[in-house]
């Protein structure tokens, strides 16, 4: 397989570094203003086997493309480049729900590239960890088992271990929804509500994730796997997470750099709309959307969540 990574942010660059141990990789970004080391991934020199380009034509000779841009950018990217990508193996790494279509990345890709073979790469993995060669386990989701198997082998390395599933819906919903819950966990810690409250948010957040994903056709075991519980655990407990840090700043009343990618904000809004549409109760996700939009204070959000009717677990 000839691999190109489209999107030269932290994650695309980290994957390029990791996969370059197996052969040449093309890394495409829409505007490459750096040489040797990507400022979004500081301290990681790019190996020679990574060819960096801002020319989309330079990537089109590859048969396998990893789409490594934020979920809300994917629709616009596909509107421009979809026809050139159709027929290829396309692997999305975005962890979010598109705010306009209320779908995950795989449905956006399927619409723009109907002849593509589509997969999702997700799971607990900070870009910096992958780029440093630290051991990482991910989920590769693909509805077609043969394509999934081929991609699993092509994208695994001695330190990057991919597990396979055909449950694309579950894998991408786990990755998207955990970002929303990670913001809530960050709020709890930023507002000094304590580790016990964070454990409650993680657990009840996971219950919300599982309920919504189940309604949308996901398999329960996918949600308890790397792409669901695994990534939820990582993101809710690490300062490396941008979603957690954003929530922490919200909870502490501190500023946060608006240029940082925080997938959980738009996804919380998307989840709130989706939940309304299918009449699914998602109290934590709904509260994250309202908090991020400044429609409710942390104190009021807490009061609202704590005063809901008592019920069975
Ligand atoms: N960072 C991580 O640890 C991980 C991230 N992910 C997921 O990967 C996705 C990307 O995240 P990450 O790389 O960290 O984000 P970054 O903020 O580091 O980078 C985003 C990249 O996307 C590019 N981009 C934005 N819009 C477009 C567009 N329309 N066309 C082409 N490129 C575009 C940006 O380009 P420009 O610089 O020109 O704006 C930038 O290079 C997210 O969904 C994230 O959840 C998954 C696992 C781990
Ligand atoms: O998805 C991630 C880890 O698996 C990265 O999380 P953040 O986007 O919150 O940094």
Which ligand is closest to the CA of 68, given by its number? 1
Atom of ligand 2 nearest to the CA of 11: 5
CA of 307 to the centre of ligand 2 (A): 31
Q: Which residues line ligand 1 (CB under 6 A)?
A: 7-12, 29-31, 40, 68-71, 73, 76-77, 93-96, 125-127, 261, 263
CA of 125 to the centre of ligand 2 (A): 7
Q: Which of 2, 22, 88, 178 is catalytic?
A: 178
22 is catalytic: no
262 is in an annotated binding site: yes
Residue with tokens 């002849």: 115
User: What is the DSSP track for 46-77?
Assistant: PPTTEEEES-HHHHTT-SEEEE-S-HHHHHHH
- State how far the Cα of 247 lies from the Cα of 181, in Å rounded to an integer: 9
Opening angle at CA 119, ends 116 and 125, nearest 5? 145
219 is in an annotated binding site: no
Statement: the pTM of the whole predicted model exceeds 0.95: yes
Nearest CA to ligand 1 atom 5: 11
Nearest CA to ligand 2 atom 6: 241
101 is in an annotated binding site: no
- State how far the Cα of 132 lies from the Cα of 86, in Å rounded to an integer: 33
Which ligand is closest to the CA of 75, given by its number? 1
Closest residue by Cα to residue 191 from 307, 311, 305: 305
Nearest CA to ligand 1 atom 43: 94
Pocket test for ligand 2, best of 127, 184, 234 (most atoms within 8 A of CB): 234
Q: Print pLDDT tens along the chain (313 aa).
A: 999 999 999 999 999 999 999 999 999 999 999 999 999 999 999 999 999 999 999 999 999 999 999 999 999 999 999 999 999 999 999 999 999 999 999 999 999 999 999 999 999 999 999 999 999 999 999 999 999 999 999 999 999 999 999 999 999 999 999 999 999 999 999 999 999 999 999 999 999 999 999 999 999 999 999 999 999 999 999 999 999 999 999 999 999 999 999 999 999 999 999 999 999 999 999 999 999 999 999 999 999 999 899 999 9
């Amino acid at each position: 397989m000839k691999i190109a990574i489209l999107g030269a942010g932290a994650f695309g660059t980290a994957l390029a570094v990791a996969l370059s141990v197996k052969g040449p990789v093309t890394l495409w970004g829409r505007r490459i203003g750096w040489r040797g080391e990507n400022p979004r991934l500081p301290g990681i020199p790019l190996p020679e086997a990574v060819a960096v380009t801002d020319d989309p034509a330079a990537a089109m000779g590859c048969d396998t493309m990893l789409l490594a841009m934020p979920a809300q950018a994917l629709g616009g990217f596909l509107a421009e480049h979809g026809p050139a990508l159709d027929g290829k193996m396309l692997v999305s790494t975005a962890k979010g729900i598109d705010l306009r279509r209320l779908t995950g990345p795989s449905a956006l890709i399927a619409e723009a590239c109907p002849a593509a073979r589509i997969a999702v790469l997700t799971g607990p993995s900070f870009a910096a960890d992958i780029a440093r060669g630290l051991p990482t386990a991910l989920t590769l989701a693909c509805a077609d088992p043969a394509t999934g198997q081929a991609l699993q082998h092509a994208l695994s390395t001695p330190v990057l271990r991919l597990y396979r599933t055909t449950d694309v819906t579950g894998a991408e919903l786990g990755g998207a929804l955990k970002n929303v819950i990670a913001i809530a966990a960050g709020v709890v810690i930023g507002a000094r509500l304590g580790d016990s409250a964070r454990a409650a948010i993680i657990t009840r957040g996971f219950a919300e994730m599982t309920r919504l994903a189940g309604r949308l056709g996901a398999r329960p075991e996918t949600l308890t796997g790397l792409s669901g519980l695994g990534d939820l655990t990582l993101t809710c407990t690490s300062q490396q997470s941008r979603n957690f840090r954003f929530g922490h700043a919200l909870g502490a009343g501190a500023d946060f750099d608006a240029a940082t990618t925080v997938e959980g904000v738009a996804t919380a809004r998307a989840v709130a709309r989706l939940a309304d549409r299918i009449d699914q109760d998602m109290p934590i996700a709904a509260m994250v959307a309202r908090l991020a939009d400044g429609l409710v204070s942390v104190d009021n959000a807490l009061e609202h969540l704590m005063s809901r009717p008592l019920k069975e677990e």
